[in-house]
């Protein structure tokens, strides 16, 4: 049985830990059954956001006449768009693998792995043992138990990013950020999109005001059925039909030529037999970690989607730094998530950090609200933005920023001055209001929302 100083299971952000171990003179093993780079590089944020940029360009052309510019889209080369993006993604993954294979201090295993004992894994036909183990094996799309689903050809988020032919009518089961982003991408390029969501709004995990606004905008772009749960799926020739039941008992049927199932993600712990290594999981199957990213098993750490703290690439990158400190350097430094934010790359974009108003209300926490519409700023008017706004939640006594929620153009960028205040400032409203904002930059919408709190 081969013995290593460090074994990393998962080649997404986990590959950084393996390389960091090697740079410290440790003998490292990296186990990854698929292409290196994990979900983000190969099947998630990198290809999806690159594709969505094409959708943004198409939307800009579509709206050009609103601004007195006569322009039209005469052709969309869908196969070329997908081919260029996937080729770049695949090249990056191949280069990552080449880098690992050229090193003598990192052994790459491209096979399935399962724990068989404490810090001991069966990889293919071999068994390997580590002095330390980092579990970074990610998550995968949920496939809900819908009657007839196994008998039809459906897409998940991974497949939907690599289609050669553009659907005429895409039916989406799910109302979260994956459904929203992919629905926007396909619709902007000319596909009719129908979304069937179980919650009463799309993006139901966002602040309610944001979710309601986004749902209203989505109804202008797509056919949207919220408050409906898919109960059965069938195919007749080239058409797939979804039957869904509403909260009020109403039954609807929707049909299209392709079906996308975007009903969330689940951790890959069940495929690793983590219980054999004494690694505890929560009731959703995610590996439980403490503030040092340690699991219940001695000398075993976990990071990324499989740990379930935050399902974002930037969260996994943050966790990687702490795993390197704690697992490789022998430190015990607690991770700080206080400036964690996220964004959804749709049109309009959505971004947020901290608590929602519903979170605070449920916790009995007092708060005050500041708000500014994009339309109440010079640049917002210039962009003819009628839906977007910034909403701030703050402590009424000391001005602590409790949450900030943005829906509108460039939300993913605008949120960062709030994150900077939380990470490096006082974490209060004054971090934003005391900063000079360039006029008439779009960031004035953030300033005015924070001034509204004061």
Residue 332 Rama label (left phi>0; alpha psi -120 to 50; beta): beta
Q: Count of H helices and E strands in the chain?
A: 14, 21
**CA-CA-CA-CA dihedral for 247, 248, 250, 254, to nearest 10:** -30
Catalytic residue, candidates 3, 53, 342, 439:
439
Token pair listed for 21: 């171990």
Q: How far is CA 407 from CA 79, 350, 387, in A?
A: 31, 4, 8
Residues 214/203, Cβ–Cβ less than 8 Å: yes
User: 327: closest CA among 74, 100, 117, 131?
Assistant: 131
User: Where do runs of H (alpha helix) occur along 64-207?
Assistant: 78-101, 157-160, 177-188
Q: How far is CA 402 from CA 18, 205, 391, in A?
A: 36, 16, 11
DSSP structure string for 361-411: HHHT---EEEEEEGGGSHHHHHTT--S-EEEEEE-TTT-BEEEEEEESTTH
Question: Is residue 439 among the annotated active site residues?
Answer: yes
- Alpha-carbon distance of 195 to 362, in angstroms, equals 29
Secondary structure element (H or E) that encloses residue 421, with its range? helix 416-424
Beta bridge partners of 155: 260
Name, in order, each residue with C-beta under 8 angstroms of 340's C-beta and a sequence gap of 6 or more: 310, 312, 315, 318, 353, 419
Beta bridge partners of 373: 389
- Alpha-carbon distance of 404 to 351, in angstroms, equals 8
Token pair listed for 253: 């049927």
- Alpha-carbon distance of 386 to 229, in angstroms, equals 31
Q: How far is CA 254 from CA 190, 231, 387, in A?
A: 18, 12, 28
Q: Which residue numbers are catalytic? A: 439
């Amino acid at each position: 049985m081969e013995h290593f100083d460090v074994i990393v299971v998962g080649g997404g952000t986990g590959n950084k830990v393996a390389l960091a171990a090697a740079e410290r003179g440790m003998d490292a093993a990296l186990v990854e059954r698929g292409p290196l780079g994990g979900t983000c590089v190969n099947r998630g944020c990198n290809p999806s956001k690159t594709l969505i940029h094409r959708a943004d360009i198409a939307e800009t052309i579509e709206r050009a006449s609103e601004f007195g510019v006569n322009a039209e889209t005469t052709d969309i080369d869908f196969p070329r768009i997908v081919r260029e993006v996937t080729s770049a993604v695949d090249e990056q993954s191949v280069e990552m693998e080449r880098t690992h294979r050229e090193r003598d201090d990192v052994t790459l295993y491209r096979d399935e792995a399962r724990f068989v004992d404490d810090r001991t894994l069966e990889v293919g036909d071999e068994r390997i043992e580590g002095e330390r183990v980092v579990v970074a094996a990610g998550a995968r799309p949920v496939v809900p138990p819908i009657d007839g689903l196994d008998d039809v050809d459906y897409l998940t988020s991974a497949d939907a990013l690599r289609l050669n032919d553009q659907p005429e009518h895409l039916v989406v089961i799910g109302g979260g950020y994956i459904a929203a982003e992919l629905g926007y991408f396909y619709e902007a390029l000319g596909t009719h999109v129908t979304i069937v969501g179980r919650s009463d709004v799309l993006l139901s995990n966002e602040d309610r005001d944001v979710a309601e606004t986004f749902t209203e905008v989505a109804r202008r772009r797509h056919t949207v059925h919220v408050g409906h749960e898919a109960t059965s799926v069938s195919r007749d020739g080239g058409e797939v039909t979804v039957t869904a039941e509403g909260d009020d008992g109403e039954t609807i049927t929707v049909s299209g030529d392709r079906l996308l199932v975007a009903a969330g993600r689940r951790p890959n712990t069940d495929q690793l037999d983590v219980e054999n290594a004494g690694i505890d999981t929560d009731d959703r199957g995610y590996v439980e970690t403490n503030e040092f990213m340690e699991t219940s098993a001695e000398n075993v750490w976990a990071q990324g989607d499989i740990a379930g703290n935050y399902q974002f690439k930037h969260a996994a990158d943050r966790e990687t730094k702490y795993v390197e400190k704690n697992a490789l350097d022998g430190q015990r430094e607690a991770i700080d998530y206080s400036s964690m934010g996220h964004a959804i790359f749709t049109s309009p974009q959505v971004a947020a950090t901290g608590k929602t108003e519903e979170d605070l209300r449920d916790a009995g926490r007092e708060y005050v609200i500041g708000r500014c519409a994009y339309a109440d700023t010079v640049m917002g008017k210039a962009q003819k933005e009628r839906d977007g706004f910034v909403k701030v939640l703050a402590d009424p006594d000391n001005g602590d920023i409790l949450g900030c929620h943005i829906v509108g153009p460039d939300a993913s960028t605008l949120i960062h001055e709030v994150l900077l205040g939380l990470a490096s400032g006082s974490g209060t409203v004054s971090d934003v209001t005391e900063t000079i904002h360039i006029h008439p930059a779009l960031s004035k919408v953030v300033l005015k929302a924070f001034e509204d709190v004061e």
